[in-house]
Amino acid sequence: MKVNATTWLIARRYFRSRKRQKFINRMTTLAWLGVGVSTMAMLLVLSVFNGLEDLLRQQFSKFNPDLKVLPAQGKTFLLNDSLRQKIKQTDGIDTFSEVIEDEAVVRYHEKQMVARIKGVSHNYGEVSEYPKHMVAGRFVLQEDDYYFAIIGYGVYRTLSYAWGDINPLEIWYPNRKGKITLTERDLQKGLIQVGGIFEVEFEQDARYILVPLPFAQALMQYEQERSALEIKAKQGKVAALKTQLKKRLGDAFLVLDREEQQADILRAIRTEKLFAGLALGVILLIAALNIFYTLSMVVIEKSKDISILCSMGAPERFIRHVFLLQGAMIGLSGALSGILLGSFIVWLQERYGFIKMGVVSSIVEAYPVRLAWQDVCTVGLCMILLTIVLSYIPAQKAARSFRIERL
């Protein structure tokens, strides 16, 4: 659409005119407000989803390693000397921990539960951030010949564990080399003292117990089998290391970064964000329809002006551009106001957190938010397209109305 100075001046005059009928003035104001409020609401909701996604990533970083190697099929893989050397010789690895992980029954006095037993190497504190999140005891898995379990805060509460009690936890696991029955005789039993309690994230705290790798090997009767390898990469080497490991290990293994380790949860958040955006997009469309009705009313009111302009030699294209530009002024000024106000509210929430979660046990007190420029561009682009589409029919009607006047 080519816009010259005359087109701009006439469209601006129609947009700002106060001599129109009050009803049309109110329609214009309502159209502007509807677009602005809808744009602001859409931006705020998308920012909340961005904040939740960032919060989840922050929580995952507390217990997920930089990279995790898993078998492509089955629960375990054989970690022989050849594979171990191949891992050690890969450039970019700071350190790595071997992992054996499975469900088992844990008993303490009269309490029992099904927990996730995770046997890890002695250097696991260097791979993960668990040592930074201890609420009791120390992150020590083994001292001399003594083994210690590090339990989640949720496990501690479920078992009603008495901190400092010398009585060990009983861990029961099915005998993998025998016939599985329902008697205790066919279960492997391990006793281990609690050495510390961690608190990182609700799901992890509620079911995870960390134990030394030799203890898990004996309990689950594993020799060279491992469930996973958790790797800490050197600074800035995660992406390159992931690519290199995929090439060296082949299709028999999966190499997952932190985001891929929690792909299901992040995918759920993004899906919810998509559907919320679509729902708000429908509301934005309904609000933008006011532009169509407003321009239609303006065309009727300005029919005499249109006839005068046409009699002075103004082509259809000129009339059409005038009303397209007026629709753009209503839509884009409303969208810009909504974006600016929404961005300001997001900034206030990030800085002061005045909208609280209202849940005592929540991870954060206030709703997490983050303004993404991709969302701003998407909302702005949608508004431009809606404005053009909804303004075209009234503008086309205005361009041809002079023919009706002459008849």
- Domain segments of the chain as ranges: 5-60+265-406, 67-258
Residues 95 and 255: their CA atoms lie apart, in Å, by: 15
CB atoms < 10 A from the CB of 344, how many? Answer: 11
Residue 133 has what DSSP assignment? G
Partners of 249 in the β-ladder:
none
Three-class DSSP category at 367: coil
347-350-354 Cα angle (round to 5): 100
- Is the per-residue pLDDT at 405 higher than 50? no
Predicted local confidence at residue 2, as pLDDT: 52
The span from the CA of 245 to the CA of 83, in Å, is 11
Is the pLDDT at 406 greater than 50, yes or no?
no
| Residue length of the chain | 407
pTM of the model: 0.72
pLDDT surpassing 70 at residue 18: no
Residues 145-175 pLDDT 10s: 889 999 999 999 999 998 888 889 999 998 8
Q: What is the pLDDT of residues 102-124, one digit of tens each?
A: 999 999 988 999 999 999 998 89
Helix H or strand E encompassing 107: strand 93-108
